[in-house]
Amino acid sequence: MKLTAEDRRVLDGERGEAARFALSVIVRMAEAAGAERLLSIEQAHIDACALMSQSSLDLVSHLAEHDGRVSVPTTLSMVSLDLEHWKTLGVNPSFADKASRIAQAYQKLGCIPTWTCAPYQGYLTPRFGQQIAWGESNAVAYANSVLGARTNRYPDYLDICAAITGRVPYTGLHRTENRRATVHFHVERARARDWETPAAWAAFGSLIGSLALDGVPVMDGLPAFRPSNDMLKAFGAAAASSGSIELFHMVGITPEAPDLASASHGRPPSKAVAVTRRQLADAWDELSNADDGSPVDAVILGCPHVSYAEFVALSEAIARLGAARIRPNVQFLVFAGATTVELARRGGLLDPIERWGARIVRDTCPFHSPVVAPTARVIATDSGKCAYYAPGELKARVAFGTLGACVEAAVTGRMPRGEAPWRTR
Amino acid sequence: MANAVRLRPIVRGAVVGSVLRSDRSISLWGGVDPASGTIIDRRHDRHGESIAGRVFALPGEKGSSTGSAVLLELIRIGLAPAAIVTRHPSPAVTLGAIVAEELYGKSIPIFLATEAGFRALRDGERIDIAEDGEVRRVTAAAPRP
């Protein structure tokens, strides 16, 4: 593999142990992938900062203790803790201590303490065509597909190695030819009213993820309106959970798909699949595994982290309920980045939401931080990603529905029986 | 199984172990418990079984990018598979094994299989994989109790 003179100096340890460690991991990964050379990147997003284990702390400590320093602007995904409010969330102090040490070590490396899994809705949004190295599967799908930046799905620890060295294997979606759509999904008889919530796009994403396998999907036949950023976020997060989608194209919506021919680089996609209303409705139903009408113990919004627009939607849904409050035995958690929470506070949205009884959790994630009550047996959510992971990670059953349905469930204690949009007439 | 089966070494190492083969990909994060090596993805066909010490053969690793962290931790605590064989390249798996080697000086071998090579690995069978990927010695699968 071709290395520059500077790469060799780094590998020889002339730039310190942290840089040597990081580049040697990058080079070994490049060799394993059969890359001819490395590529310089301009930005990184780190997913490895969520506390998984002792090894997470060991790794970042090794880099920080050897004076590691990121060489490109680098944002951080969730940490395993609401860094400022963990005490009132009932988090165990020794867990908090370890998570805080990880957080401090990543900041010592020079990372920006954004602590969000939706970095594309906050700080340092990448540009079209920019080569970046991002971790966190939903963020990768969004950056590639919606923004048109170029990244592979950087697994934990390769992300920080890329940030320190500014170098990555020149493979996969960094290369134009691999961004070509290979599977064409044509949505049949789309009616705008079936697609008006992010939850509908999550169900759609879950279906496409399960059908596209290793391909790059392109969708057309979509309803004649422009989906919001939150709809595309919900789609990508679900598609990256049910499948391994790192890049998708939507004709007329995403930047590399002004039309079908452009998305598929002038050659027809190798596979064409019709998506029926029946399949979409089934995909929606499959996101729930709780029995209809079973009592809801917890509600999770913000997987990925909620945006300002979702804070607005939540406060409107609450306002529609009048004086109705959350049932005392229901835990209502809203996960968000601190920047968005601050905006919501300034926008006057936060007080009514908190007074109603919802709990805002910053910096972290329901699967990495012990904030969801371990006794919760049924979790309501509008997230396809949360619906996918909650049964395994939280040992709970899922009642999937719109944000409005989740708010109603918190008040009545039961998820309203919501027909999948595509099943209604 | 023919003796000519050869796997492509991605992270090198020789191994002896019994095969746990699944035709379903898995997300290591959310799919495998990093403290015990047990498969916790209820949608997975081997749900409830442990991958510790097995030659874990599967089409690929999918889903969240935290899979490498799960493998690194399993290697650290000695509950990793003896080896992982995939049909499709799995960067998270490769990376977990490489970082373990760099950080802890211990790791597990990772191999890539062709379709035929993958098919030739039978569930429950005890196999011996050489560092170059050659599957050298194969005994018959133990009868199921």
pLDDT single digits (tens) A402-423: 999 999 999 999 999 878 999 8
Nearest chain A residue to B101, by CA: A25
Q: CA-to-CA distance for B89 and A400, rounded, in angstroms? A: 33
Distance from CA of A416 to the nearest CA of B (A): 25
Q: CA-to-CA distance for A244 and A231, rounded, in angstroms? A: 19
Residues B11-32: tens digit of each pLDDT = 999 999 999 999 999 989 889 9
Contact A158 B95 (CB under 8 A): yes
Q: CA-to-CA distance for A118 and A102, rounded, in angstroms? A: 20
User: Which pLDDT score, from 0 to 100, does residue A177 have?
Assistant: 97
User: Which pLDDT score, from 0 to 100, does residue A364 have?
Assistant: 93
Q: CA-to-CA distance for A172 and A201, rounded, in angstroms? A: 26
In the predicted model, is pLDDT for residue B145 greater than 80?
Answer: no
Question: H helices then E strands: how many in chain A?
Answer: 15, 14
Residue type for B137, please? R
The burial class, CB within 10 Å (0-12 / 13-18 / 19+), for A336 is: buried
Residue B9: both structure tokens together: 């070494």
Per mean pLDDT, which range of A217-221, A351-355, A411-415, B24-28 is the poorest? B24-28
Cβ–Cβ under 8 Å, residues A23 and A112 = no
Contacts of A214 in chain B (CB under 8 A): 88
Distance from CA of A320 to the nearest CA of B (A): 36
At residue B140 the predicted structure's pLDDT band, cuts being 50, 70 and 90, is low
Contact A29 B91 (CB under 8 A): yes
How far, CA to CA in Å, does A215 sit from each of A181, A211, B22?
Answer: 7, 9, 21
Residue type for A425, please? R
Q: CA-to-CA distance for A127 and A131, rounded, in angstroms? A: 9
Q: Which residue has better confidence, A258 or A50?
A: A258
Q: Point out the catalytic residue in the list B18, B64, B90, B107.
A: B64
Beta bridge partners of A2: A37
Contacts of B31 in chain A (CB under 8 A): 392
Residue spans of beta strands (DSSP E) within A295-381:
298-301, 331-336, 359-362, 378-381
Q: CA-to-CA distance for B21 and B23, rounded, in angstroms? A: 7
Nearest chain A residue to B69, by CA: A156
Contact B94 A29 (CB under 8 A): yes
How far, CA to CA in Å, does A71 sit from each of A26, A41, A112, A355?
Answer: 15, 10, 12, 43
User: Which pLDDT score, from 0 to 100, does residue B64 have?
Assistant: 60
Mutation for B interface: A45, A59, A157, A165, most B CBs within 10 A: A157
Q: Distance from first CA to last CA of chain A, Å, rounded?
A: 59
Q: Where are the alpha helices (DSSP H) in A33-177?
A: 54-65, 93-108, 137-142, 158-165
Residues A320-340: tens digit of each pLDDT = 998 889 999 999 999 999 999
Q: CA-to-CA distance for A211 and A257, rounded, in angstroms? A: 20
In the predicted model, is pLDDT for residue A213 greater than 50?
Answer: yes
Q: Where are the alpha helices (DSSP H) in chain B?
A: 28-31, 67-76, 91-104, 115-120
User: Which pLDDT score, from 0 to 100, does residue B41 have?
Assistant: 87
User: Which pLDDT score, from 0 to 100, does residue A94 have?
Assistant: 87
Q: Cα torsion at A263, A269, A272, A275 (round to 10°)?
A: -20
Contacts of B30 in chain A (CB under 8 A): 367, 388-389, 392-393
Pairing of strands A298-301, A331-336: parallel
Interfacial B residues in 62-91 facing A (CB < 8 Å): 62-70, 72-73, 76, 88-89, 91
Task: Kindly write down the DSSP assignment for every residue of B24-78, as one continuous string.
Answer: S-B-HHHHB-TTT-BB--TTSTTTT-B-TTSEEEES-B-S-TTHHHHHHHHHHTT
Cβ–Cβ under 8 Å, residues A51 and A86 = no
User: Which pLDDT score, from 0 to 100, does residue B43 have?
Assistant: 85
Cβ–Cβ under 8 Å, residues A213 and A207 = no
> Catalytic annotation on B64?
yes
Enter the pTM of the model.
0.91
User: Which pLDDT score, from 0 to 100, does residue A236 have?
Assistant: 98
User: Mean pLDDT, to the nearest integer, of A45-60?
Assistant: 86
Residue from A390, A205, A300, A366 nearest B42 by CA? A390
Sole residue written with tokens 């080896």: B83
In the predicted model, is pLDDT for residue A362 greater than 50?
Answer: yes
Q: CA-to-CA distance for B89 and B112, rounded, in angstroms? A: 7
Q: CA-to-CA distance for A361 and A302, rounded, in angstroms? A: 9
How large is the ipTM? 0.87
Q: CA-to-CA distance for B4 and B41, rounded, in angstroms? A: 34
Cβ–Cβ under 8 Å, residues A267 and A260 = no
In the predicted model, is pLDDT for residue B3 greater than 70?
Answer: no
Q: CA-to-CA distance for A33 and A405, rounded, in angstroms? A: 45
Residues B49-104: tens digit of each pLDDT = 999 999 999 999 875 678 899 999 999 999 999 999 999 988 889 999 999 999 99
Contact A158 B40 (CB under 8 A): no
Instruction: Count Cβ atoms below 10 Å from residue B16 Cβ, excluding itself.
Output: 13
Is the previous residue joined to A304 through a cis bond, with omega within 30 degrees of 0? yes
How far, CA to CA in Å, does A249 sit from each of A205, A235, A277, B117?
Answer: 12, 11, 20, 34
User: Residue A347 half-sphere exposure, CB side, CA atoms within 13 Å?
Assistant: 17
Pairing of strands A378-381, A271-275: unpaired
Task: Tell me the residue length of chain B.
Answer: 145
Residues A19-50: tens digit of each pLDDT = 999 999 999 999 999 999 999 999 999 997 87
Average pLDDT, chain A: 94
Residue type for A237, please? A
Cβ–Cβ under 8 Å, residues A421 and A277 = no
User: Which pLDDT score, from 0 to 100, does residue A193 have?
Assistant: 94
Residue A417: both structure tokens together: 């029986």
Cβ–Cβ under 8 Å, residues A340 and A306 = yes
In the predicted model, is pLDDT for residue B142 greater than 90?
Answer: no
Helix (H) or strand (E) holding A283: helix A277-286
